[in-house]
Amino acid sequence: MRKIVLAAVAVIGLGLVTAQAEAAQPGALPPLGYLSRTLPNGLKVYSIRDPGSANVSVQMWYEVGSRDDPRGRSGFAHLFEHLMFKSTRNLVSEQFDRLTEDVGGSNNASTNDDYTNYYEIVPANHLQRLLWAEAERMGSLVIDQPTFASERDVVKEEFRSRVLAAPYGKLFYLYYPQISYAVHPYARPGIGSIADLDAATIDDVRAFHAIYYRPDNAVLVVAGNFDQAQLDRCVDSYFKPIPRPGTPLPRVTVQEPVRMQASHFTVYEANTPLPAVLISYPAPPAASRDSAALEVLQGILSTGDHSRLHQSLVYRDQIASEATASLESRAARGTLAVYAILASGKSAEQGEAALRREIALLRSQPVTAAELSEAKKELLNGALRERETVDGRGAALARAVVLSGDPAAADRRLAAIAAVSASDVQRVARRWLADRSSASVRYLPDEMRKGGAAANVITTASTVQTARLIAPPNVHIWQPVPASERILPPVPGPAIVPAVPLPDVQTLANGLRIVTVEDHGIPLVTAKLVAEGGSAADQAGRSGTATLTSAVMTEGTTTRSAPDIDAAVEALGGSLEADAGWDASTLGLTVGPRDLDQGLSILADVARNAVLPGAEIERQRTMAVDAVKLAMGNPGRVARLAAMRALYGGAAYGNPPAGTAASLRSISRADLQTAYRGAWTPAGTTLVLSGDIRATEAKSLAERYFGNWAASAAARSVTAAPAGSPLGGGVIVVDMPNSGQAAVAVARPGIARADRRYFPAVVANAILGGGFSARLNQEIRIRRGLSYGSGSSIDARRSVGPFLAVTQTRNDAAAEVLSLTLGEMRKLGAAAVPPAEFEARRSSLTGGFGEQLETTEGTADLIAATIGRGLPPRAIETYLPGVISVRPADVESVAAALLPDAGSTIVIVGEAAKFVDQLRKAYPALIVIPIADLNLDSPTLR
């Protein structure tokens, strides 16, 4: 069980002072307990001890971000983030991943406008190794030309994937920051541009590291299970010797003025399935007294289906398929954006008018007491969920230090949110969200531009101030030391064995099961209902039935309307999540223990008494059709869907689970009623309760809300879906003109979850494509820079699920990526996996499993997935022993049987003219299908 240290103590210099918690903590939320000190070289060190965890999180936050990108080098901080994972004086390239993933941990990094943060989660006995490695890359990073060139190519592919290939990529990654600032460097897109990436040199990179990656510009946070005295010794040993440079840190200190005249832009872009509109307003710095009120305002606008934007634009007026607000808090002035992706047949003018109307209401009228309470509870429950994990607690503390300059700001933020009044919300709306301060973009499909319609070119303003990149004197160029002289990482300490939860299973007289997993460390409970029946039951020509049923279930019962349900759930600070998987459907929420009784009453009402109103069916159908349009603009999504149809032919597992425009229109209310009544029965349903609840209480609540639930006459027995017959090892090219990237998908029949080969297959996939250090990503991204990421999955369902490998790459590299993918599949079944690689990839599975168990929702999801695949709830206990029992020979055998490259079903989606001729040399019989002719309802895709 996890515990939070309640004593909040800060160590400043050599003296101890109490970290002020003068603001009362809201509800049962305990404060972050931390110790802090600053080394003589300026490194700020914070620690949060949790002796109940088996893990430790190490986070290094550098106060350098996209705002510091040099002139003519936008995206530079982001590029540098990638380079920090390469070699140092004593670390060989990729060894950082070996120190984390190979021992069952994980690592990652992100680049923000104000900071770049690097974070690792590892078993607690590996803490010293990670501290040593973080000091290595701070003090002696090796930057050579091959590494620089390769990672620059990877970042280009990330740009193509996020900005060019994805619908609305330019709107969110480029245009939003560019319209929001006139002088501050926040205006420049953090992801940069391909031109600026090409302009960067290796000398620029080395200078950037020397300027910003230094101890007095960094915050180190360690959270988890450790001995404080030992931590202090390690930090002193590894970080104190790193010198503090004598040169000052360059900062652009310009203040962005509040806009006094609204600006308006209209652009036309390819790959825009539906019009969109975005309006940007200024927001105060994160440390401002107005920040808490704006967080509450943003919650009222867009958190949950009961929020104002959803209720007005999506639910009532049906102008938009999606409408939301985003508050970007920064060290300097931030932004608040409202945006909408319009519904079919609606215009950007309608969307903009509706968004502005909702902002005007906030200025002119106080919000209601119910709205205020709901938004606060959602924010505070969100903070609780973040603090369930050691890395979440560490991140909350570090964010406060970097953005506000004070670690206590993390707790003060929550107290400030609790104190926000309706007048505060109206005050900040009037101050910050004036029409004259806004900047808007109407983002329209290219085909709507007719007769030379005027359009704007949006770029970073010429008045934006940026820093010059001036290399400090005597930049040291580090080189790897000879292997014989290399200092090796410290040896791990004694292992700490993670506790695997033991689910308590009880059954009511009507057959409903109750599965309880107790964890009293954080006051949260996840309640999840799992019903036997999902998308595998969809009839031919009716794909999307189960998914649409799940969506409509929550839109009205015999006693509650859709708004009533939304209001009741969100008043508890929760969100009602309904979903249909292939073999099971789920309904769940996460709330505090005191709200569980009311939360379960709502879950029971929806599961037992949904009426599937006709008007709500039509509204959800329209939204689902619009979502399909969005998906069909994404090459990766299309490749996955087409590969499944090609693999399974006309069988149910080949259906698009969310449906197609045609299938969704063909689904009747009777189809939905049949699906609902057939799946949601007491004997076929399990209630999973995970978190701060006892098994005795769980059964009492289940009896109260489900004990008199009687089976419907329409109940059906659940059988595994037929696997279907693959169309054969064909190659299908879906031609998507002007696609920013190509998506390469390779599919094969996999296994069922009950297959005795399940655990060897899972380990085999972990080696091939189950993570950053897996073979596909190593070969395609790391060695060749052809993709931002390459991976594979093996989805073991009640019946034979698929193996699927997918990579997005530039169009002209599609044939090469296909060849590399098939080659790695072939190698895995042709030779034994080296012991070190085998142990490392197997550990990645056990570590990932342990991380998911750290949260109430993660635990509930694992149990729900186990049940959905036809296994008993306590089968969760067999996962770790099952993975650990796998041997290299098992992997070689299962890979040879399941993953030969011959006979694979291959789908490539992209701009065919750039790769089809090269591909046809190896596959003369390939089929080309224009995207306009693609029919995912047909076994032939036509």
- In this predicted structure, the answer to whether residue 894 has a pLDDT above a threshold of 60 is yes
Query: What is the mean predicted confidence (pLDDT) over 466-489?
Result: 90
- In this predicted structure, the answer to whether residue 680 has a pLDDT above a threshold of 50 is yes
Positive or negative, the CA dihedral 765, 767, 768, 770 is: positive
Residue 140 CA, chain-centre distance (Å), reads: 32
**Whose CA is closest to 306, among 572, 564, 609?**
564
- In this predicted structure, the answer to whether residue 377 has a pLDDT above a threshold of 60 is yes
Are the C-beta atoms of residues 891 and 696 closer than 8 Å to each other? no
Query: What's the pLDDT score for residue 326?
Result: 97
| Distances in whole angstroms, Cα of residue 424 to Cα of each of 593, 668, 838 | 30, 47, 57
Q: What Rg value do the Cα atoms of the chain yield, rounded?
A: 27
Query: What's the pLDDT score for residue 27?
Result: 45
Indicate left, alpha or beta for 609 from its phi (over 0: left) and psi (-120 to 50: alpha): alpha
Query: What's the pLDDT score for residue 850?
Result: 86
Exposure string for 622-648, b = 16+ CB within 10 A, e = fewer: bbbbbbbebbbbbbbbbbbbbbbbbbb
Query: What is the mean predicted confidence (pLDDT) over 232-243?
Result: 97
- Angle of helix 369-386 versus helix 291-302 axis, rounded to 10: 100
pLDDT tens sequence across 656-674: 999 999 999 999 999 999 9
Query: What's the pLDDT score for residue 721?
Result: 52
Mean pLDDT of the chain, nearest integer:
92
- In this predicted structure, the answer to whether residue 9 has a pLDDT above a threshold of 60 is no
pLDDT tens sequence across 305-347: 999 999 999 999 999 999 999 999 999 999 999 999 999 999 9
| Distances in whole angstroms, Cα of residue 280 to Cα of each of 193, 335, 361, 881 | 22, 7, 17, 52
**Whose CA is closest to 612, among 568, 548, 664?**
548
- In this predicted structure, the answer to whether residue 258 has a pLDDT above a threshold of 90 is no
Query: What's the pLDDT score for residue 603?
Result: 97
Concatenated DSSP letters of 853-891: TTSHHHHHHHHHHHHHTT--GGGGGGHHHHHHT--HHHH
Q: What percent of the chain is predicted at pLDDT more than 90? A: 87
Give the predicted TM-score (pTM) of the model. 0.90
Residue 344 CA, chain-centre distance (Å), reads: 27
Pairwise CA distance, residues 275 & 350, whole Å: 11
Query: What's the pLDDT score for residue 468?
Result: 86
Query: What's the pLDDT score for residue 901?
Result: 83
- The strand pairing partners of 47, in sequence order, are 35, 222
Kindly state the tokens that stand for 763.
């380990």
- In this predicted structure, the answer to whether residue 293 has a pLDDT above a threshold of 90 is yes
- In this predicted structure, the answer to whether residue 19 has a pLDDT above a threshold of 50 is no
Kindly state the tokens that stand for 561.
């309307």
- In this predicted structure, the answer to whether residue 131 has a pLDDT above a threshold of 80 is yes
pLDDT tens sequence across 790-803: 999 999 999 999 99
Pairwise CA distance, residues 119 & 108, whole Å: 6
Query: What's the pLDDT score for residue 69?
Result: 94
**Whose CA is closest to 580, among 624, 517, 646?**
624
Pairwise CA distance, residues 119 & 641, whole Å: 34
Q: What percent of the chain is predicted at pLDDT more than 70? A: 95
Kindly state the tokens that stand for 817.
């990526």
**Whose CA is closest to 190, among 291, 69, 70?**
69
Q: How many residues does the chain have?
A: 942
**Whose CA is closest to 508, among 360, 381, 684, 631?**
684
Are the C-beta atoms of residues 855 and 113 closer than 8 Å to each other? no
pLDDT tens sequence across 493-526: 888 777 778 899 999 999 999 999 999 988 999 9
- In this predicted structure, the answer to whether residue 713 has a pLDDT above a threshold of 80 is no
Are the C-beta atoms of residues 682 and 507 closer than 8 Å to each other? no
- Distance spanning both ends of the chain, measured CA to CA: 54
Q: Which residue has the higher pLDDT, 485 or 713?
A: 485
Query: What's the pLDDT score for residue 28?
Result: 55
For 59, phi then psi, to 5°, come to: -130, 130
Query: What's the pLDDT score for residue 5?
Result: 26
Task: Give the model's confidence band at 8: pLDDT under 50 very low, under 70 low, under 90 confident, else very high.
Answer: very low
Task: Give the model's confidence band at 728: pLDDT under 50 very low, under 70 low, under 90 confident, else very high.
Answer: low
Q: Nearest 10 degrees: CA dihedral of 399, 401, 407, 409? A: -70
- Angle of helix 545-553 versus helix 669-679 axis, rounded to 10: 80
| Distances in whole angstroms, Cα of residue 144 to Cα of each of 90, 150, 658 | 15, 10, 47
